[in-house]
Structure 1
Amino acid sequence: MGDPQHPLQPGEPAPGFMLPAANREGMVSLADLRGRPFVLGLFRGLHCPFCRRQVRQLADMQPALRAAGVETVAVINTPVERARMYFRYRPMSLLLLADPDCRTHQAFGVPRVEFLTEGSSESPEWPSRTRMADFEAARINPTGELPQPAQPMAANGALNAQDGFEMDGTDSAIMANHASQLVGHFLIDESGTIAWEHIEAPNGPSSLCYFPDAKEIVTAAGTLQH
């Protein structure tokens, strides 16, 4: 398993996983995906409106990625029953897997934000040690849908209200346990080796919820040897 604050890097083997599919029957493992390169997106749960949008963005990239010989897989930090219900009404063309415990995120070393206790003398070091005040001071508007940049949790609530998305008890439990989980993307080659990685918010909370540029992913895919 990867260090939860140090993402796996290009050249390292992708860790094995087996997860239930949310838009097909059965389980899917890393072994099932070997033999063809794929982009793996590791997202927060459905409670996060930015992740819901990013899954759609990743699905929209499929034609360009498939032209480069690359498939797309998304892992959602939501129980499979809840994920199946949501995506039954909002179908996606990419393969969707459910991981309510963030075990795949942890295996790939995708960080989660850890907050210093109030009055701590430790120096902040994003994302493993950050002050709540710094998080509260951040302002984001990654999709341009808000009238102006907002504090991350306020932005989250505003977009959920805009979408008419009502969290149920499952969503609330996931958010309570995994709200500070960051998002990661990995390009994995046909042999199961990581070829490229992108972790959300590398420069601090003001860059939260920004998705990697489609051109960046396609360019990385184009470097693979088929």
Structure 2
Amino acid sequence: MGDPMRPLQPGEPAPEFALPAINVEGAVSLAGLRGRPFLIGFFRGLHCPFCRRQVMQLGALQPALRAIGVETLAVINTPLERARLYFRYHPTPIMLLSDPDCRTHQAFGVPHIEFLPEGSSERSEWPSRASIAEFEAARINPTGELPEPTQPMASNAILNAMDGFELDEVDTAILANHATQLAGHFLVDGAGIVAWAQIEALDGPNSLSIFPSAAQIIAAAGSL
């Protein structure tokens, strides 16, 4: 398994996993995908409006990826039944998998931010360790929907209100436990080897919720 703070790199084997599917019955595993290249995205829970948008964008991209032989999966950090309820009303053609504990995120080495205690003399090393002040000072507007760049948590609240998305107790619990989980995308070839990887915001908190574009994903998939 990958180091939680060191994402898997091209040339390294993908870890074994088996996760319950959200939009079909049964589970999906690395063993069951063997022989087929796939793109797998790891996201925060449904509380994250930017992640919800990226999942929909991957759905729009799925026909182009399937045309070149690449399957598309998205791992959502939300419990199965809550995720099934949401995607019943917001369907997508990609395979959706539930991982409320972020175990597969961690296996692929997708980082989560650990905040330093207030007054700590430790040096910030984004994204593994950061000060709360550093995070609070960030301003983002990755989709251009906000009137101006906004603090990340405030931007979530604004977009959730725009979407009419209300967090329930399940979402609130996931947010409390995994609020600092980053997102990541990996292309895995038919032999189970990582061919391409992209991790959210490696260059700092002002890049939070910026995900790879359709052109970047297609270019990476085309090189398989």
TM-score (norm 2): 0.99
Stretches of structure 1 that go unaligned for 5 or more consecutive residues are: none
Residue 12 of structure 1 aligns with which residue? Answer: 12
Mapped contact 1:40–1:75 kept (Cα < 8 A): yes
What is the match of residue 174 of structure 2?
A: 174
Name the residue aligned to 1:85. Answer: 85
- In the alignment, is the contact (CA less than 8 A) between 1:184 and 1:200 conserved in 2? yes
1:159 and 2:154 equivalent? no
Please state how far the C-alpha of 1:100 moved relative to its aligned partner: 0.3
Q: Which runs of 5+ in 2 are unaligned?
A: none
Q: Which residue of 2 aligns with 1:109?
A: 109
- Partner of 2:190 in structure 1? 190
Residue 216 of structure 2: aligned partner:
216
Structure 1 counterpart SS, 2:85:
helix
Residue number in structure 1 paired with 2:134: 134
**What SS does the corresponding residue of 1:66 show, helix, strand or coil?**
helix
**1:117 counterpart letter in structure 2:** P
**Local SS of the residue matching 1:8:** coil
SS of equivalent residue, structure 2 residue 111: coil
**How far has the Cα of 1:211 moved from its partner?**
1.2
State the secondary structure of the residue aligned to 1:61: helix
Q: RMSD of the alignment, in Å? A: 0.7
Q: Deviations over 1:137-183 (max 9, x none)?
A: 10000111111110000000000011010111000000000000000
CA distance in structure 1 between the partners assigned to 2:67 and 2:143 by the alignment = 26
Separation (CA, whole Å) in 2 of partners of 1:146 and 1:198: 25
Query: What SS is found at the alignment partner of 2:210?
Result: coil
Cα shift at 1:67: 2.2
1:28, 1:129 → 2: CA distance?
A: 33
Q: 1:22 deviation in Å?
A: 0.4
2:32 aligns with 32
- Structure 1's consecutive aligned runs of 4 or more residues displaced over 6 angstroms after TM superposition are none
